Amino acid sequence: MKTVTLIVPCFNEADVLPMLYKEVSRVISSLSFRYSFELLFVDDGSNDETLNIIKAIAERNTQVKYISFSRNFGKEAAMLAGMKNANSDFVGIIDADLQHSPDLIPEMLVAVDDEGYDVAAAKRSDRAGEAKIKSALSAQFYKVINKISETKIDDNAQDFRIMKKAVVDAIVSLEEKNRFSKGIFSWVGFNVKWFPHENRERAAGETKWSIRKLMRYALDGIMSFTVSPLRLSFIVAVVLGILSVILAFLGLVIPFNLPDYRIYMLLLGAIFFVTAIVCVLTGIVGEYLGRAYIEIKSRPVYIISETNIGKTIFDEI
């Protein structure tokens, strides 16, 4: 009998976990004649009753495993921890908030087990219920990253997917610390079957993705999959060269036609403009250097404080 591990990243999801477990159990029980399932909850440093609820579920069901982080390391770290600790033939990822419908799991398993696909992944067919500003910013982000990066990412792709073990092994073999999984999923390649999936409201609780976290996530994506921002310096150098010639020309001509204060304002504006450009470019270079510094330090992506799968407290990644 083939095995399946379903990874469930959790952060303060106490309100929805009982509903999620009920829904997932209903689906996987209908497939028990063919597959042996394992549910792997990854508690991302929750400060509510999430971990206690997971422990209670695990006590009733030996097929339920859990990992708990020492603090909040983020969803990317939670997904990585789950994939590193999953040893099944097929490995899936599903959000705890029930925005991903467990009813897709049987079709996904058919795709990877019977139809020859390496990955079965969900993609939004709409963005109903999502804040308009979030939807607009997300669409623009993917337009930008797909223009400047060689790795193309579907703007409606979701983390909800089931993968063959070979795909998971390829993903966890990438040792970068600043992870952007949607980009990594695309970068590793493999044969993917997409499943349109209607956007659903959370079953309970509130989203953990603030605008600040989303902006940071977008920055991780751009910095992880392209060096195009660094190339801006060449373009800016050309533009500034042209501007310097123009300003030099104006400096020779304008004094004969305008009062001195206008010349001063013109020069001051030019200085501010050039300074702003230098600051932007310095910030871009600094961001890349900072990321290189983080990679060199080789700090773990996460630290496991508690688990029922026999791993040590400190993960080696």
The pLDDT value given to residue 8: 93
Q: Are residues 191 and 59 in the same domain?
A: yes
> Both 39 and 86 in a single domain?
yes
Structure token digits, residue 21: 């477990």
* pLDDT at 68 (0 to 100): 92
Give the residue among 42, 30, 55 at the shortest CA–CA distance from 6. Answer: 42
Q: For residues 63 and 196, state if they share a domain.
A: yes
Extract the runs of DSSP E, i.e. beta strands, from 90-220. Answer: 90-93, 119-124, 157-164, 192-197
Total of domains in the chain: 2
pLDDT of residue 178: 73
- Indicate whether 214 belongs to any domain: no
Beta sheet of 157-164, edge-to-edge order: 192-197, 119-124, 157-164, 90-93, 2-10, 35-43, 64-69, 304-307
pLDDT at residue 100, as a whole number: 84
The helix-helix angle for 211-225 and 132-148 (nearest 10°) equals: 10
Sequence-distant (≥ 6) Cβ neighbours of residue 163 within 8 angstroms: 90, 91, 92, 112, 118, 119, 120, 171, 190
On whether residue 249 sits in a domain, the answer given is yes
What are the pLDDT digits (tens) for 21-56?
Answer: 999 999 998 898 889 999 999 999 898 889 999 999
pLDDT of residue 314: 40
User: Which two tokens mark 9?
Assistant: 């990243």
Say if CB 77 and CB 148 are below 8 A apart.
no
| Rounded Cα–Cα distance for residues 158 and 95 (Å) | 10
- Phi first, then psi, for residue 198 (nearest 5°) are -70, 140
Q: Mark whether 235 and 196 lie in a shared domain.
A: no
The range of the structural domain enclosing residue 197 comes to 2-207+300-307
The DSSP letter of residue 170 is H
Q: Answer yes or no: is 317 within a domain.
A: no
Separation between Cα atoms, residue 248 and residue 209, nearest integer Å: 49
Least Cα distance to 267 among 281, 253, 250 occurs for 250
The alpha carbons of the chain give a radius of gyration, in whole angstroms, of 25
Residue 255 and residue 162 share a domain = no
CA 311 to chain centre: 25
Same domain, 94 and 146: yes
Specify the CATH number for the domain of residue 6: 3.90.550.10
Same domain for 108 and 194, yes or no, is: yes
Asked if 188 and 241 sit in the same domain, the reply is: no
pLDDT for the residue numbered 274: 73
Exposure string over 182-191, b if 16+ CB within 10 A, otherwise e: bbbbbbbeee
**217 in any annotated domain:** no
Whole-number pLDDT of residue 76: 87
Q: Is there a single domain that holds both residue 143 and residue 250? A: no
Residue 139 and residue 10 share a domain = yes
Whether residue 100 is found in the same domain as residue 196: yes
Segments of the chain with pLDDT less than 70? 125-155, 199-269, 272, 275-276, 279, 283, 286-288, 290-298, 310-317
pLDDT value at residue 189: 79
| CA nearest neighbour of 84 among 182, 7, 19, 183 | 7
The predicted structure's pLDDT at residue 7: 94
Q: Across the chain, what does the average pLDDT equal? A: 76
104-153: pLDDT as tens digits? 999 999 999 989 899 998 888 666 555 566 666 666 666 666 566 666 66
Residue 316 included in any domain? no
Does residue 215 form part of some domain?
Answer: no
175 in a structural domain: yes
Report yes or no on 119 lying in a domain. Answer: yes
